[in-house]
Structure 1
């Protein structure tokens, strides 16, 4: 008898796991009128659908457990529901209310699937909707619209993020949740990800080592893939952008479809830019670049969970702006032939979520293969390296209710750096690097208003290199290195809903960053300087406290945030004042204690009686200093941005028509680091018009804009072309078109 009882319990357990779970309901307005065509999307399952003509919807073949569902419709505030699928059929009726302002988004970079206002860590979301973003030759210029985010640029082809004054090695970039490893710690190399097939960009401001380990000491930028097609649909789009300043052409074509359980997509893109024109009209030699890319994905979503496979391939050819190239290039061109770098990046990644009753298990893995070549004279390879990276992680979500979440995880990374074909210059030695970590996260909601989040993490890293050079040539010899590091990190924070409109957020975090291969082993010429590493460098350790206030009313929003970040053993590179035997300035990696502080302010208003008008402005400021009183390098100037926009949903034969004028003001930077010079302030004006026009029943979104309308001749404090006395791009007329079919 006992055997039969036990067998019944086991069979019942498995039956609940594999039972058909259905989520259904109706989407209406506040007045109860149905909203046909509303989007219903489940983030954990990469699965979505539309409401029918009566506002009804149904998502079937769902697993048991807790899922996050977003309901959205154009012109209405999105609504996010946490649903506990503990019944075979669950019904949710949702009433959306009209709004002229963007609502909060669901974010996935904070460790939990939650809305922006439910995370203790400050996360900004930039939606790459063609109507609302600045069209630019590089994605980082678009991201710098977010307060507190800037970019270090070397022309239009190379740009690196700066978040609250920290950059390069202290900012971690993710491609759909996978850390990008492609020699990213040099300001000469591109970001490594483009905007093709990207729907949102999530930006964590401040330390995020608890979630991502080393290199997230200053923040994280996560490029989120576009959502799969709704169940039962096949969708496609083609995009074209033309740029007058750099004679640029950008094209991309995408297709995606989904059946009941299977979904997938394919996207190809091509970018080509000639040397750009600086303010005043002169071209900057060798700022030309081109890129080709291929992205594909396939997935399955069912009762057991979601299984997804992604493949990305990017190939860049980017001109290097150096004294040698400026001397030899006297005509404007498009194709890099001499003094350029070639990067060939491939990534294969798998993301999987398995549901076991009320347990959820995430198993993710990725393999990256990156090749870097520096070409001097035509077909003369000076540097050729290959970096292979294997990353993997497992996260176990324990059974929880609507108010709690417990997560335990493991992450690992193995890397191999190799010099290829015995080139004359070996910037970095052959090396093997390994990293392993354990972490735990806890989230708890009290009184329905106070949400507390916290966690702790342990990391261990080892690094071993081979000797480079002849021991008899002391100045160029690099001995073999064998190092190991371990670190603890953690954070605790809370969000408090003071009332329906006012939210307070605060977080305290401890983070770390291990010294990388370049900082430990460099000993040779890299572009315009001779770089020397230091094998005795210690890990950076940061301790930051930040707080923010968010006010959201029917017709306006206000955000105010402040932070203080203290960093022990901050690593930076600075000139020694000496020159190499070849007459190249010598730079050396150093470290010392430092601190940064500042904040951001943002205000967006939509006047009640002027339904077509929007106005928004923001201000950001950061100060970065060493403990000895010197200022830190690459600290952006204070920034003030403003935009006024008029919109009309229907205007004759046009839909979603708009016109906007925006300004970007950078104040003078009078606090340069010892290796920098002061920079004058500037104001840039952009103007844009756009609309959706149906051509043969196919909607075509077009946009015509002018960046740097008055052709201002300026240089940004974070432009590395300042060293060679070149200015930022001048006037740029941009035409963008996107059709969906």
Structure 2
């Protein structure tokens, strides 16, 4: 059926009119001087260009109707414009960019759709690829924790899970280019599932987003968006490498992309290899080594009728597990995975298509992914071998009735199968079939330019069927489970902009999450405990209220937010008073009502008399409690992050040199769950030096970063290695080289 629809859409392209719909103009600074090399990008068409030496630009073969355009240039504020293109005509749009003393908003695709970052009633943070690349850490997820309210549950440098405002695991939805990642993300022992290869930025929704994404978005969303295509008529490429002293690690990446007037494509590959990390003080943490390989490619067509894209991602991981059984057997400092490691393969094929029909825009997103999970112990065969196949689909019709109103109707669904393979010794989860179908309606209304109201409703049905596993009446028997769930969810929010500088947001949302396979049916040893599922679990329901404000001036910006999240039937795992015959403690999944509340704030100051100096600080705190006032597990400590940064446009042969000193202070966490112990506070200091060079007309970027300069011994409260007595990573010196080809 999908092939028929795809061929039909392609046919529409060739029967469309041949008149050229174009947009052109000139990009200048505030004094009217042209800005050569400025980037012009139309995200809905996945098409862009750069201005010439006179600041002129032109983009042809565009669809008619309303569209958003992003203008950006290094050192200047990004401008987001909305324009109506008339069929067969040239639209002229000249733009004057203002110097960016402090960075402004970006175009985001997460949330209400393609929009300016501050147009959303929910708080959306953006972390660019450059910020991640210069973070100096071998842990991809750790770079994201620079965003206030975002933390990670980590098992060393190779395994980390996101935490947003105190919620984690299946309460956070991870998207790869808008596709929900399904790779057994059931516990703190399982990795993020995204390589970071060929991404442009990470968009982070803080708070419930079930209206747009269904189950699992109860606490927030991480969307890893793909890099932009090369400018029309060009071929671009890169090679990057980073060396890490602490893990004896090396990261390598290579990619190339090209774009003609209608066709575009890219391919990139990435490899990471890291030995066991050294904790503060210099001792190795056994079997925390990890090795990863990834491949990403895409191709597509853009024209007057629409944009059609196909993506393929492959991700291979071998992640050492620092469990007691491995610690005496693993030789510290090695990088090859030999015993007790997760061997993971993940394939993802994704087709994203957009058809423009005047005021209507029809988007479809179809994806198939296959995740193979093997657990290698000390045997010659895997102890666990499972395959999870998932097909997801999404179709949305957007209608704009002018500048004031915008409507979206959509449907989303998923079909999933889990299968145990090859009769392995441990079958922790049973074979299962899972399906989901949801319909949604979203509306946006702007009674005047400074005020926007957003809201919508969504209805979902969810079905889980598992099959009997094991011998009936034995300890490891998995009884069959059949569960049908349904849920009505929605949100209502508003934004108000005062004097183009001060933005207020308010949002109320209801969200849900259905119990996953592990919570319903697990029965066996998982990590250092024996887990038993609970087939009587019901879906979690959350009601969250968010209030936030954002001020963006010429020399200062400020953010502040408060939130309260009430979760009914919160699912958690807790120890029982039982142990197995091997003295392994038995844990069981249960439910209770809970609440999470907290606040975040950030301040960025650029002193007017010192144009090269920046000060930045953020603060975040969250408290999580059950109704009986017991604290929830995996709640991060309150944290302060601050930095001093000096940068100039040019210093000798160095272009845009930057020196940054940053620090992180975590407060003592003594509001721990019953299964946890208190964690002392700590402060670590980092430094980064970065600059660009042109050598024989070749653009190079060099980065030197030193993390945990003083080799501080500390435990992060969310580290799962803390109960084993291992500190977080000690001092790490990293050197990065990024070669930009074709610029």
Q: Is the 8 A contact 1:440 1:457 kept in 2?
A: yes
Partner of 1:136: 137
1:76 aligns with 2:76: yes
1:484 aligns with 2:514: no
Partner of 2:264: 263
1:702 aligns with 2:713: no
Aligned residue runs from structure 1 range 327-726, under 5 A: 327-473=328-474, 475-726=475-726
CA apart distance, 1:696: 2.5
Partner of 1:101: 102
Aligned residue runs from structure 1 range 152-163, under 5 A: 152-163=153-164
Q: Is the 8 A contact 2:550 2:558 kept in 1?
A: yes
Q: Is the 8 A contact 1:16 1:357 kept in 2?
A: no
CA apart distance, 1:179: 0.4
Cα deviations by residue, 1:277-297 (Å, 9 ceiling, x for unpaired): 000111010000100111000
**Deviates further, 455-464 or 693-702:** 693-702
Partner of 1:729: 729
Partner of 1:165: 166
Query: SS in structure 2 opposite 1:518?
Result: helix
Output the CA distance in 2 between the equivalents of 1:462 and 1:90.
Answer: 50
Query: SS in structure 2 opposite 1:398?
Result: strand
Query: SS in structure 1 opposite 2:252?
Result: strand
Which runs of 4 or more aligned residues in structure 1 lie more than 3 Å from their structure 2 counterparts after TM superposition? Answer: 13-19, 130-133
Unaligned runs of 5+ in 1: 1-12
Partner of 1:276: 277
CA apart distance, 1:19: 4.0
Partner of 1:67: 67
Query: SS in structure 2 opposite 1:328?
Result: coil
Output the CA distance in 2 between the equivalents of 1:32 and 1:658.
Answer: 28
Query: SS in structure 1 opposite 2:604?
Result: strand
Q: Is the 8 A contact 2:713 2:730 kept in 1?
A: yes
Output the CA distance in 2 between the equivalents of 1:135 and 1:441.
Answer: 40
**Deviates further, 408-417 or 193-202:** 193-202
Q: Is the 8 A contact 2:132 2:144 kept in 1?
A: no
Q: Is the 8 A contact 1:17 1:304 kept in 2?
A: no
Partner of 1:5: none
Output the CA distance in 2 between the equivalents of 1:306 and 1:135.
Answer: 37
Partner of 2:47: 47
Partner of 2:5: none
Cα deviations by residue, 1:104-129 (Å, 9 ceiling, x for unpaired): 01111012211111110110001121
Cα deviations by residue, 1:184-237 (Å, 9 ceiling, x for unpaired): 122111111122211110000000000000000000000011100000000000
Query: SS in structure 1 opposite 2:402?
Result: coil
1:127 aligns with 2:136: no
Output the CA distance in 2 between the equivalents of 1:63 and 1:400.
Answer: 17
Q: Residues 691 and 644 of structure 1: is their aligned pair in 2 closer, same or farther, counting only changes over 3 Å?
A: same
CA apart distance, 1:65: 1.6
Output the CA distance in 2 between the equivalents of 1:117 and 1:36.
Answer: 28
Query: SS in structure 2 opposite 1:520?
Result: helix
Cα deviations by residue, 1:135-157 (Å, 9 ceiling, x for unpaired): 21121100000000000000000
Partner of 1:10: none
Partner of 2:9: none
CA apart distance, 1:20: 2.3
Query: SS in structure 1 opposite 2:346?
Result: strand
Q: Is the 8 A contact 2:270 2:294 kept in 1?
A: yes
Q: Is the 8 A contact 1:337 1:378 kept in 2?
A: no
Query: SS in structure 2 opposite 1:476?
Result: coil
Q: Residues 18 and 538 of structure 1: is their aligned pair in 2 closer, same or farther, counting only changes over 3 Å?
A: farther
Q: Is the 8 A contact 1:64 1:357 kept in 2?
A: yes
Q: Aligned residues, how many?
A: 728
Q: Is the 8 A contact 1:84 1:402 kept in 2?
A: no
Unaligned runs of 5+ in 2: 1-12
Q: Residues 512 and 672 of structure 1: is their aligned pair in 2 closer, same or farther, counting only changes over 3 Å?
A: same
Cα deviations by residue, 1:677-706 (Å, 9 ceiling, x for unpaired): 100000010011121122332111011111
Partner of 1:194: 195
Partner of 2:252: 251
RMSD: 1.4
Aligned residue runs from structure 1 range 111-122, under 5 A: 111-122=112-123
**Deviates further, 107-116 or 279-288:** 107-116
**Deviates further, 93-102 or 234-243:** 93-102
1:219 aligns with 2:236: no
Output the CA distance in 1 between the equivalents of 2:234 and 2:575.
Answer: 58
Output the CA distance in 2 between the equivalents of 1:130 and 1:563.
Answer: 27
Q: Is the 8 A contact 1:17 1:357 kept in 2?
A: no
Q: Is the 8 A contact 2:552 2:558 kept in 1?
A: yes
